[in-house]
Amino acid sequence: MAEAGESHPKVVAEAHGVDTFHPPEKMLANHPSKPHLANMEEYKKLYEESITDPTSFWGRQARQMLSWQRDFQTVRSGSLTNGDVSWFTEGQLNACYNCVDRHAHKDPDRVAIIYEADEPGDGRELTYAELLRQVSKTSWVLKQMGVRKGDTVAIYLPMIPEALIAILACIRIGAVHSVVFAGFSADSLRDRVIDGQSKVVITTDEGKRGGKLIGTKKIVDDALKQCPDVTHCLVYKRTGAEIPWTEGRDWWWHEEVDKWPAYYPPETVNAEDPLFLLYTSGSTGKPKGVMHTTGGYLLGAAMTGKYVFDLHDGDRYFCGGDVGWITGHTYVVYAPLLLGVTTVVFEGTPAYPNFSRYWDIIDKHKVTQFYVAPTALRLLKRAGDEHVKAEMKHLRVLGSVGEPIAAEIWKWYFEVVGREKAHVVDTYWQTETGSNVITPLAGVTPTKPGSASMPFFGIEPAIVDPVSGEEIKGNDVEGVLAFKQPWPSMARTVYGSHKRYMDTYLNVYKGYYFTGDGAGRDHQGFYWIRGRVDDVINVSGHRLSTAEIEAALIEHHGIAEAAVVGVADELTGQSISAFVALKDGHETSEQLRKEFVLQVRKSIGPFAAPKTVYIVPDLPKTRSGKIMRRILRKILAGEEDQLGDITTLSDPSIVEKIISTVHASK
Ligand code: WTA
């Protein structure tokens, strides 16, 4: 956690008089049918029911939205206090059957996946029937490699259809997928493979992104040098590059799938059996394997897909998130496939070959819902409106996720991208919440730029005073955000460390789930997310922990101590600044600074590289040795006159020296 008193949200609930935007008339006029709810009254009624009678609400939804092989009697049991939440306990189902088979049976020729490759013009489409065949073959391959129900399979794949096929093949045989973002370094991949006890890893020869090649297989090889338990590596041929090969361990995807039949019967699993692990950063150095279970997670994904994004039959949904993060899990894979719509899988970047790439994709594939992080929107807005020529006339919903969206970006999204014809939904949620938790419902909820608006069904938010731990009732209040009731798609544990799960989320304020975010509730009950109150920073929508980056820096032999802080950045939201003190015998040099950045790239991945490294004689520490990051943040913000009492530092004179180092580098 952050030092006491330093990062409690201070902003007062949003001033009155902020513009409210109602679902655009033109969105409703162009709608192929109509939104799933008629108005806010319907939302309020259902919301009320979801909170006061969760058993009847969620029992009904679960039976409506999902196909069960065995019905459940218990809708919800356990509590936040005890950390033993369970949903649909006796129920049995198969996640892949729900995502693929039921649609393939009903409408085999419906397009499940539109693959838009890195190079414009490249790509292909897969129908639900074809997806079922490919997933089945891959299931056979995994089975043959010895994967059993409950085993974990690591997936290190770029954004290609095979990432989805691999995920679906795992869940078809009751295995647990652990997708590792293909931008992570070999060291990070190794840690995740070991922690999740994966024996099989799925990857590509190379990846292709923004016109550049990424040596995925080589990274996997490096990682696997230290993973003796991995018996098999399945390699999809993406570019055909020459790659290193370990006989007996490495197998070509195309050769293996060819050996097996095109149908594999889905394995039945229990509602509370694990579905996947996804590693995420927390306040301490080691990433946590957040575990989601089957029934509840699927329901959260399907329900938010339906109500938040207004998904209807025939829609073409494009979420720009990567499958390596939760947004990609829930909204590239699960939500659209559970609802039987078409999902766009985009391999490239918004800037390649030029800044109109997203808009061209939306036009070309007649996309109806688009979902992306504000960091991409900032980049594209800055590139200039002349790139937004595409008409995008099918767009009904524009989603935002991962970080607060500034009002001016929100308005640009609405006016320039959406031509005021699409409803902007700013969706707040986390890896741990599984699906959107505070969010407008497209076509229904009035919105205010910068506010994630209202709680989703089953979410009972509380604004808590971080000092007293008491809930602050009423409107026009600020504090930290917690939830008072369990919801179906909440994470059930941290893999191998339930205590960590309890301590991070459920023991902070007993009886509540603690989000780690500050938030305000304005005079009309709208929620405004202020950002993390712990040592988690958000760079371009990527969640990183300062402790993790510090741990990476300290691996360098020249560094005695390191402190990392996030600073506001116009383009990336926040950026990383590192302060390091050298070990004796090392001299400040440009070369060393470069090595430090490289060290982080190597330990975590390029996306975690500090933007600036300040080499300082020492860090500001209390007499008990605690690093005062607050002081570093203030110095970077140019608020040197507001450092507060520094006489408690073990060496107050260090502050002046740090200030001059920072000034000298500007
Ligand atoms: C932040 C990403 C403001 C928040 C889905 C949260 C947001 C963290 C929003 C989770 C939003 C996510 N407005 N902040 N709409 N959405 N966040 O686990 O700080 O990668 O705690 O999940 O992102 O990041 P994660």
For residue 292, which of 270, 276, 268, 314 has the smallest C-alpha distance?
276
Question: Which atom from ligand 1 is nearest to the alpha carbon of 438?
Answer: 15
For ligand 1, is residue 452 a contact (CB within 6 Å)?
A: yes
Give the residue, out of 325, 429, 544, with the most ligand 1 atoms within 8 A of its beta carbon, to mutate for a pocket test. 429
pLDDT, mean of residues 251-271: 98
Q: Which of 255-261's residues contact partners 24+ apart within 8 Å by CB, and which partners?
A: 256/141, 256/144, 257/134, 257/137, 257/138, 257/140, 257/141, 258/137, 259/140, 259/141, 260/136, 260/137, 260/140, 260/141, 260/144, 261/136, 261/137, 261/140
Q: What is the pLDDT of residues 415-446, one digit of tens each?
A: 999 999 999 999 999 999 999 999 999 999 99
> Which range, 96-105, 600-609, 647-656, has the best average confidence (pLDDT)?
96-105
**What is the Cα–Cα distance from 249 to 196, expressed in whole angstroms?**
19
Specify the amino acid at residue 185.
S
The tokens describing 349, both together, are 């970047």
φ and ψ at residue 341, rounded to 5 degrees: -100, -175
Q: Is the pLDDT of residue 9 over 60?
A: no
For residue 179, which of 200, 163, 197 has the smallest C-alpha distance?
163
Sign, CA dihedral 404-407-409-411, equals positive
Q: Is the pLDDT of residue 482 over 90?
A: yes
Q: Is the pLDDT of residue 315 over 70?
A: yes
Question: Which atom from ligand 1 is nearest to the alpha carbon of 280?
Answer: 18
Please give the pLDDT value at position 285: 66
Residue whose CA lies nearest to ligand 1 atom number 11 = 428
Q: Is the pLDDT of residue 36 over 80?
A: yes
Give the residue, out of 483, 538, 544, with the most ligand 1 atoms within 8 A of its beta carbon, to mutate for a pocket test. 538
**What is the Cα–Cα distance from 192 to 189, expressed in whole angstroms?**
5
- Separation of CA 584 and ligand 1 centre (Å): 40
Q: Is the ipTM of this complex over 0.95?
A: yes
Q: What is the pLDDT of residues 58-76, one digit of tens each?
A: 999 999 999 999 999 999 9
**What is the Cα–Cα distance from 198 to 196, expressed in whole angstroms?**
5
All residues at 6 or more sequence positions from 486 whose CB lies less than 8 Å from its CB, including other chains: 76, 78, 79, 80, 85, 87, 513
Q: What is the mean pLDDT of the chain?
A: 95
Mean pLDDT lowest for which of 304-313, 454-463, 615-624? 615-624
All residues at 6 or more sequence positions from 209 whose CB lies less than 8 Å from its CB, including other chains: 118, 158, 347, 348, 349, 352
* pLDDT bucket at 4, cuts 50 / 70 / 90: very low
**What is the Cα–Cα distance from 101 to 84, expressed in whole angstroms?**
32
What distance separates the 2 farthest-apart alpha carbons in the chain? 73
Do residues 498 and 528 lie in contact, with contact meaning Cβ atoms separated by under 8 Å? no
Please give the pLDDT value at position 414: 98
Please give the pLDDT value at position 474: 97
Residue whose CA lies nearest to ligand 1 atom number 14 = 403
- Separation of CA 430 and ligand 1 centre (Å): 5
- Separation of CA 401 and ligand 1 centre (Å): 7
Please give the pLDDT value at position 476: 96
Q: Report the percentage of the chain scoring pLDDT > 70.
A: 97
* DSSP state at residue 239: S
For residue 538, the SS3 value is strand
Q: What is the pLDDT of residues 338-369, one digit of tens each?
A: 999 999 999 999 999 999 999 999 999 999 99
Please give the pLDDT value at position 643: 87
pLDDT, mean of residues 581-597: 94
541 or 291: which leads in pLDDT:
291
Please give the pLDDT value at position 15: 61
Q: What is the pLDDT of residues 384-413, one digit of tens each?
A: 999 999 999 999 999 999 999 999 999 999
- Separation of CA 429 and ligand 1 centre (Å): 5
* pLDDT bucket at 502, cuts 50 / 70 / 90: very high
Question: Which atom from ligand 1 is nearest to the alpha carbon of 543?
Answer: 20
| Number of alpha carbons in the 13 Å side-chain half-sphere of residue 422 | 30
DSSP bridge partners of 293: 274
* pLDDT bucket at 626, cuts 50 / 70 / 90: confident
Do residues 11 and 478 lie in contact, with contact meaning Cβ atoms separated by under 8 Å? yes
Angle between helices 128-144 and 161-172 (to 10 degrees): 60
φ and ψ at residue 294, rounded to 5 degrees: -70, -65
Residue whose CA lies nearest to ligand 1 atom number 24 = 430
DSSP bridge partners of 280: 288
* pLDDT bucket at 469, cuts 50 / 70 / 90: very high
